[in-house]
Structure 1
Amino acid sequence: MKNILKQIFFLTTLLVVFASCKKDENKNYFEGGTAPVLKASSTTPLVLLIANKDNQALSFTWTNPNYQFNTGPSSQDVTYTLQFDTTGANFTNPKIGEKSIPKDLATAITVKDLNTLLLGMGLLENMPHNMEIRVKSNITNSNVPLYSNVIKIIITPYLDVVYPVPAKLYITGSASPASWMGGGDPENVSQRFTKVSSSKFELTIVLSANNSMLFVPVYGDWNNKYGFTGSNNANNVNGDSFKPDGGDIKTPAVTKSYKITVDFKTGKYTVE
């Protein structure tokens, strides 16, 4: 009887071990991959020009990272991200520039798109910037990214604006302390904005509630006014879009001091 029980126990153990081995064989284990090798069409200093905005600026190719599993090469989707950062930042910039490329092993970027990407990183236009570029590969629903070699290129972006930037800018209107300007009126410097960047103007001034204002580049000249893109006084009082010869801009419901920011790069203004 004891011998029979021993044999039964031995057979049961074998079955459990065999089943366990079969189960492990069915698991899909990640076994690694090879970091992609990135190449660029050019690494010479690049000056972006608005006249060439529709032309190709750069093209990139990279090798397949060949993600491997115990069952063989990956059959899952691989996504790629082309990353741009300034030299020395080591791709830690909160505003890192990125371009996603699902599955492909190559991409090209136009002058305009590259310029937009760089300006979106907060880089100044008309200045050369030492850039580093790499590609990141990853498998869908995985946390095992691979990073390529880093390519270095000096790139100079251009000022891309919605409207030409004037030399000066003034506020006028019933909401302003000097009210509406008149032709031939002497310049009221208290109504003049300060140019804080190549495309942006700021002015802190008291605005009277629920009245109107406009922006003008030449004091006393109504031929080049800027106003709301919609009908008169239909704007968001905290900020909106503007355009040449636009409608009157309505001010907030409380009379007090506000900071007005007008940005010709975006074609938008804010009232804070």
Structure 2
Amino acid sequence: MKHIQKLWFFLLAAGLLFTACKKNIEGGGEIAVFSNGKQPVISASAATIAPAAADSNNVALTLNWTNPEYSIDSNSVKYIVEIDSTNRNFSKSVTRTVTGTRRISMLAKELNSILLGFGFAFNTAYDIDVRVISSFPNNNERLVSNTLKLRVTPYKIPPRVPLPTSGRLFLVGDASDGGWNNPVPVPTQEFSRLDETTFAGIFNLKAGSYLILPINGDWGQKYALTNNGVPGIANGGNFVYYGPGVGGGDNFPSPAAAPGLYKIVVDFQAGRFTVTPFTQQHGLPGSLFLVGGATPGGWNNPVPVPSQQFTRVTSTRFELASIALTAGEKYLFLPENGNWGKKYGAVNGSAANIGLGGPLKPEGEDMPAPTVTGNYKIVVELANNTYTLTKL
């Protein structure tokens, strides 16, 4: 009798279980199904993250999320963590994939690498979005979590290629106007330093090759390529430093479309260079002049020289060491003294703080003088089309 009772109990339990795992389908039939789970909820160890470079090997961020409660072994559940810059809807996300665990930790150097990959500047705070997507091992039943918004600040890391200790760069080679003569002609074959780790210059390149030198007139060190046969290397790629006593290195090849004007940007932080045609209106001027009501010479054109003529200090940079400017007036830059047919002006002459400089462009708007009358130094950089004023 006891055996019969046990049998009935077993059959009843099995029936209940079968009923719980059945689903009606069209036509009146039933099939067994698994639970499709519920949305995971992700959380972070901190909402603001700004590690120091000294903490690069320490954990900077830990992410945890709840169990999606699929009706499968939790050790086989797949999770994809997505990280992206805010407002991109994860269109360019960096991902980390784990299985069976609902936790991931990132060292400061790992997170920093991701942030720099987004193009974030050193020591500047940005917002990023983070979420996790759970699924079966075969990617079925994907469930997307809530989105976390974190405030992160990448720390500064050493540049991939050593910076020139001279703080300067020069172009040499038969692709240049100066050929292989060393020292090279300056300022036409000197780069401008745009920031701590980026140099740029605009040069007339022809068929041939070139090298980049940190010291004009010195063959003892150079920046060059490891292999100039890499497809597309004429348009950009990785470069390396060959210091004193270190031989080897390949020359940079000219672009296939040379001759013509080209902008070369050398990024020591990333260890990369780019070469692009320079087709801007008015080309690359050899001279620059200041004209306008804000200047002592007024709108008279030609302007008085040398007092209102810039000095060219690199291939793309012009400086006027000191000029008296009158508040409330305006001015323009002229590549040819006496010619109103060519000029440079502000991209937006009414932008905030435009009196102390901003973006410029050919045939731009009149530029307002600073709000305080006085003597100013003016620097014009055509490699990035900007101008700045400093009160003396």
Aligned pairs for 1:110-129 (under 5 A) are 110-129=107-126
1:155–1:133: structure 2 CA closer, same or farther, 3 Å change rule? farther
Say whether 1:24 aligns with 2:30.
yes
In structure 2, do the counterparts of structure 1 residues 114 and 37 end up closer, same or farther at CA, with 3 Å as the change threshold? Answer: closer
Amino acid at match of 2:215: V
Q: Distance in 2 between matches of 1:218 and 1:144?
A: 58
Q: How many residues align?
A: 240
Distance across 2 between alignment mates of 1:47 and 1:234: 41
The one-letter code sitting in structure 2 at the alignment partner of 1:78 is V
SS in 1 for 2:98: strand
Q: Deviations over 1:54-106 (max 9, x none)?
A: 33322322222213xxxxx13595332333344xx345254334333333211
Matches within 5 A, 1:149-164: 150=148, 152-164=150-162
Greater fraction of residues in helix = 1
Structure 2: distance between partners of 1:217 and 1:119: 26
1:158-195 deviation per Cα after TM superposition (whole angstroms, max 9, x unaligned): 24521133433221112111223425x6x612212234
Percent same amino acid among aligned pairs?
27
Q: Give the superposition deviation at 1:226.
A: 0.3
Alpha-carbon offset, residue 30 of structure 1: 5.1
Using structure 2 for the length normalisation, give the TM-score. Answer: 0.52
State the partner residue of 1:247: 250
| CA drift at 1:116 | 1.2
User: Which AA in structure 2 matches 1:182?
Assistant: N
The equivalences for 1:203-218 within 5 A come to: 203-209=201-207, 211-218=208-215
Gaps of 5+ in 1: 1-16, 68-72
Distance (whole Å) between structure 1 residues aligned to residue 202 and residue 55 of structure 2: 38
Q: Check conservation: 1:48, 1:115, Cα contact below 8 A.
A: no
- Give 3-state SS (helix, strand or coil) of 1:156's partner: coil
1:102 aligns with 2:99: yes
Structure 2 counterpart of 1:56, one-letter code: V
Q: Which has the higher contact order (CA 8 A, sep 6+)?
A: 1
Residue 40 of structure 2 is matched in structure 1 by 35
Matched, 1:80 2:83: no
Alignment partner, residue 4 of structure 1: none
Confirm or deny: 8 A CA contact 1:97 1:121 kept in the other structure.
Answer: no
Instruction: Answer yes or no: is the 8 Å Cα contact 1:234–1:250 preserved in 2.
Output: no
Structure 2 SS opposite 1:260 = strand
Structure 2 unaligned runs (5+)? 1-23, 243-248, 277-392
Aligned to 2:297: none
Over 3 Å counting, the alpha-carbon distance change for 1:142 and 1:263 in structure 2 is same
Secondary structure (helix, strand or coil) at the match of 1:237 reads: helix
Q: 2:163 aligns to what SS in structure 1?
A: coil
Question: In the alignment, residue 262 of structure 1 is paired with which amino acid?
Answer: V
Distance 2:25 2:129 in 1: 53
Q: 2 CA distance for matches of 1:59 and 1:18?
A: 44
8 Å CA contact retained: 2:120, 2:154: no
Q: 1:79 to 1:19 in 2, by over 3 A?
A: closer
Instruction: Give the SS at the match of 1:220.
Output: coil
1:262 to 258, 266, 275: 266
Show the counterpart of 1:3.
none
